[in-house]
Structure 1
Amino acid sequence: MAAKVSLKYYLLSTRTTKGELPIYLRITLDRKKAELHTGYVSTTKDWNQDEQLTKGNHLVNQELAKKKAKVYELIIDLEKKNKPVSAAILKELLTGKQKVNIGLLAYFQQHIDEIKIRNEIKKISLNKYHQSFKSLTEFLLKKYKSQDIYIDQVDYSFINAYDLFLKEEYDLHKNTINKYHSRLRTILLKALAEGHIFKQPYANFKLNTVKTDREFLSQEEIDLLLKLDISHNQSLDKVKDLFLFSVYTGLRFQDAQDLTMNNLSSYKNKPSVKFIQQKTSRAIEIPLLPQAKKIIDKYKGSPERKVLNKLLPKISNQKVNSYLKVIGDIAGIKRSITHHVARHTFATTICLNNNMPLEDVSMLLGHSSIKTTQIYGKITQERLFNSINKIKGK
């Protein structure tokens, strides 16, 4: 037994009932103490503090000896299972107040249900938690052949294996993987605070952010997509249209998916869409360029329009990005495309390359600060050379 523990019985003198005082057990481990009532009493006259026994009551002394033996048994058992040992944990085990072990996914779902009830986070953030839950479900089935595991089984090796799973099975970028880890870490910190686990599995796991340039398509690459005829494959064709719609509006995927006919508007007879951004809860109106209006008109007879009043077809975000890889290959676009590249393309190629002021781009993107927009203000080769040529001509 590695843990060195001190066990001491004493009478709690501040509490008395008919001259009898409760017998308490003090557990000291690593200089930390925990105290608990044994359920037995004695009088100061009968209590022998040196022997820690009560005179003339063999049965009580026998039970006190058993309780000490139980403490040592618990320590040996915890050490065998490679679980943390502390005075507080031993007290909880002795009093039966230790938290009932709960499954990781069960606890994760409980957290999702709680934030739904409290309405603490936006729908888009809640969806991210659902994505994390789904990824953990798939990970447990693949790695452990199990539908759930106890939350106290989550350790460094679990975190490391989950990281590899997200990289290999989901093909996610390092920074996106970090967001999945961040959500799981939030759950585990809550479990730690509530006593379901006794150490943080992420303590030694480093989440290093990778600096990346914001990818966007050039006008030539946009033209390749506009010319691409994949109407023979409805799924790919829908994804191409969803991507191009965001290229010409700057909308995030979920905002575009939420648009209905009720969001259509106009300003001075020019078509636009009015909506509340999910991520920022900001009200915004975006003028519709002819290319975006053409895509809306294309789906006027779609089931989504007829039944749900939606402007655009519905499809899952995960499928969108996998389909975009296929579309990019068919179109001959060398760079990797995700749906968010469309928003970057709108900011850079559609707006900034056409000399739109940064302040206007910021308004269209719904940014609360122009500093956020400046990230999108990357000078493309085309814009750079155009500027130089203008200077040359003077």
Structure 2
Amino acid sequence: MSQSFKILFHLKKGKGTNENVQPIYVRLTVDGKRVEWSVQRSCEESKWNKLTGRMAGSKEEAKKLNAYLDAIQASIYDVQREHAQRKERVTAEQVRTTIIYGSEEKAHTLLEVYQYHNEQFEKLVGIEYSFRTLQKFRTCLRTVREFLRFKYHREDIPLSMLNHKFLTDYEFYLKTEWQLHHNSAMVCLKKLKKIIRLCIANDWLDKDPFRSFKITSKETHRNFLLKDELERLISEPLTSEKLRRVRDVFVFSCYTGLSYTDVSELTPNDISIGIDGIQGVFTKRAKTDTSSRIPLLPIAYDIIQKYATDPQVVNTGLLLPKMSNQKLNHYLKEISVICGFNKKLTFHCARPDIVWTTADNKKIGVEITEAVISQLEFQKNSFKDEITDCVLEKLRDQLPFNFDITVKPYLDRKISQCQKNNSIGQIVKILLAEAINLKDNEILNLYDFGSDIDIYPPDIKRMILLYGYRNLPDGIKSIKIGRWDSAGESWNPKLGAIWVPDLTLDTLSEIIKKKETKLEKYAVCDEYWLVIWESGGRNSYYKNISAFDPPNTKFQKVFLARTFANVVVVLK
């Protein structure tokens, strides 16, 4: 396997270089194709020997420079020799990349990976993600690019430069140069954290700079309209058609509880009559992907009817006028001035002003919460899924069939990152040895014995192993794996619904205590109701319910909406 291989060191004159002192480049030609790169050294043209490709003379300066060039040449030949030993052909670009970056794979840079992520993300818009989320990632990429120019005077940096100081400097830059509030700056850092996790998952980055950096959020206080202010807003004569349209959309949100994103995407098909004969809005929340069925109150219905024949709205196929969130908030500020409100009015202010107006004109303030799993349980389930996902990824290409797998750790034991990595590697070895002979639709269950099995007599040890008990890795309670040839891919069967602690008077009192602090946003209402919506973000639901007639609460009525049973339980 012969290849032509030629190395040449030469001076290269550039636009910004000195007439006398010029940078040294190495030119490598392999099979007629050549590449060249700077060796980060320079030499006076009068002292350079073009025949030898070295600095002329015997002074110490010449000796050091020539020794450096000899070392580069030796490194180039080492790369050629390694490929020859493996009986592989080598290209000039492969040699160049190996010399510069230490391997044949080019070292990745921060903006390169960020841009790669955004390009992949863009292809999933409309499938898994929204265009607005893509816009947020693009904005955050722009902040990182400008930060690099501001702080490092560079267009990009290698991933190896990411550390704790980089994150703290980036946070400071966002707050000072971009004038972002704390929570807005944290949003940019969350986006950056996703990019860094992508780098770690692909082994492009060894250390996680976020390990010692905590992303925090500060509680915000949102403005809201009082009852008389909302009535004044509705009755205020506005001369501008744009302002009237903005007011209608805002008021519609007040009486439906829908966010800007949900309101802006409503179509006439989302309005229908339910089984109870009441006309309502049937849609899915964009943020949570949960179904919503909202009865249409008279004011909201009148607004829909107003735009049912509006040519500008009808041509868009939407239910209401649509404009950007920035424009809506800009016009809301104008409306706030016209109405004489001494507060900042934004579209976010619409949702806390929801009240239900009954037929006899009674105002009911309805506060809604979700039955969610406790934070401790959430962390435990997240840790279990994290370990299972890691094992799944390592086994996916090693087992010759599709499977589902669940790895359960001991929830009462703390496992360090190092222990977790070691346990994952041991689990993979165990399953490669024991699950390789599984048949279709067969399931293997392994349980931690809790002590050393080898200390028992052979007959007892045989029985222990027969029942699936093993010396499992540190912190692992059980492993379950099943073979499914009909499955499209291997997966982690995460629970779609999980029990939460029983709904007792004590747990209900905690919920009520927290939600009562939000009653002030309803201004003056005749009654206050609390609705606990079962099946939240983790699809949680209560196993047993014993919380009825909670005492000493400002809520006149308390309900539990059970989505799985499709019933509403009256707790008070």
TM-score, normalising length: structure 2? 0.43
Quickly say closer, same or farther: Cα 1:270–1:163, change in 2 above 3 A: same
Quickly say closer, same or farther: Cα 1:116–1:376, change in 2 above 3 A: farther
Aligned-residue offset at 1:219: 0.6
Percent identity of the aligned residues? 25
Quickly say closer, same or farther: Cα 1:120–1:275, change in 2 above 3 A: closer
Does structure 1 retain, via aligned residues, the 8 Å contact 2:252–2:299? yes
For the pair 1:219 / 2:221, whether they are aligned, the reply is no
Does structure 1 retain, via aligned residues, the 8 Å contact 2:148–2:156? no
- Indicate the residue corresponding to 1:265 in structure 2: 272
1:134 to 133, 139, 161: 139
Q: Residues 348-371 of structure 1, C-alpha deviation per residue, up to 9 Å, x if partnerless?
A: x5589934565xx45xxxx56596
240-249 vs 111-120, greater mean Cα deviation: 111-120
For the pair 1:379 / 2:519, whether they are aligned, the reply is yes
**1:243-392 mapped onto 2 (5 Å cutoff):** 243-267=250-274, 269-346=277-354, 349-350=355-356, 354-355=363-364, 358=367, 361=368, 375=515, 378-380=518-520, 382-383=523-524
Aligned-residue offset at 1:260: 0.4
Within 2, Cα distance between the matches of 1:385 and 1:296? 27
Does structure 1 retain, via aligned residues, the 8 Å contact 2:333–2:344? yes
For the pair 1:123 / 2:129, whether they are aligned, the reply is yes
273-282 vs 210-219, greater mean Cα deviation: 210-219
For the pair 1:114 / 2:128, whether they are aligned, the reply is no
Q: Residues 196-239 of structure 1, C-alpha deviation per residue, up to 9 Å, x if partnerless?
A: 666666566654321234542211221221123334251x3332
1:127 match: secondary structure: helix
Quickly say closer, same or farther: Cα 1:261–1:139, change in 2 above 3 A: same
- Indicate the residue corresponding to 1:98 in structure 2: 106
Does structure 1 retain, via aligned residues, the 8 Å contact 2:267–2:319? yes
1:272 match: secondary structure: strand
- Indicate the residue corresponding to 1:189 in structure 2: 197
Within 2, Cα distance between the matches of 1:211 and 1:329? 27
1:250 match: secondary structure: coil
- Indicate the residue corresponding to 2:173 in structure 1: 161
Quickly say closer, same or farther: Cα 1:285–1:328, change in 2 above 3 A: same
Does structure 2 retain, via aligned residues, the 8 Å contact 1:264–1:274? yes
Within 1, Cα distance between the matches of 2:262 and 2:184? 20
In angstroms, what is the RMSD of aligned CA positions?
4.5
Within 2, Cα distance between the matches of 1:219 and 1:305? 30
Quickly say closer, same or farther: Cα 1:118–1:309, change in 2 above 3 A: closer
Does structure 1 retain, via aligned residues, the 8 Å contact 2:270–2:282? yes
**Any stretches of 5+ residues in structure 2 without a counterpart?**
1-66, 77-96, 373-507, 529-553, 555-572
Aligned-residue offset at 1:263: 0.8
Within 2, Cα distance between the matches of 1:376 and 1:67? 72
Within 1, Cα distance between the matches of 2:282 and 2:320? 15
Does structure 2 retain, via aligned residues, the 8 Å contact 1:274–1:283? yes
Within 2, Cα distance between the matches of 1:321 and 1:373? 33
Within 2, Cα distance between the matches of 1:357 and 1:343? 11
Does structure 1 retain, via aligned residues, the 8 Å contact 2:200–2:208? yes
Quickly say closer, same or farther: Cα 1:232–1:195, change in 2 above 3 A: same
Within 1, Cα distance between the matches of 2:328 and 2:240? 17
Within 1, Cα distance between the matches of 2:519 and 2:122? 42
188-197 vs 264-273, greater mean Cα deviation: 188-197
Aligned-residue offset at 1:289: 1.0
Aligned-residue offset at 1:339: 1.6
Within 1, Cα distance between the matches of 2:244 and 2:263? 16
TM-score, normalising length: structure 1? 0.59
Q: Which has the higher contact order (CA 8 A, sep 6+)?
A: 1
* 1:245 alignment partner AA: F
2:519 match: secondary structure: coil
Q: Which has the higher strand share?
A: 2
2:71 to 54, 61, 66: 66
Within 2, Cα distance between the matches of 1:112 and 1:216? 36
Quickly say closer, same or farther: Cα 1:198–1:159, change in 2 above 3 A: farther
Quickly say closer, same or farther: Cα 1:316–1:119, change in 2 above 3 A: closer
Aligned-residue offset at 1:320: 2.4
Does structure 2 retain, via aligned residues, the 8 Å contact 1:247–1:343? yes
Within 2, Cα distance between the matches of 1:107 and 1:351? 52
Aligned-residue offset at 1:324: 2.5
Within 2, Cα distance between the matches of 1:185 and 1:160? 16
Quickly say closer, same or farther: Cα 1:208–1:325, change in 2 above 3 A: farther
1:95 match: secondary structure: coil
Q: Residues 290-339 of structure 1, C-alpha deviation per residue, up to 9 Å, x if partnerless?
A: 11112222222334532232001111123323332332233222222322
Does structure 1 retain, via aligned residues, the 8 Å contact 2:267–2:317? yes
Bigger Rg over Cα: 2
Within 2, Cα distance between the matches of 1:70 and 1:255? 61
Quickly say closer, same or farther: Cα 1:69–1:143, change in 2 above 3 A: closer
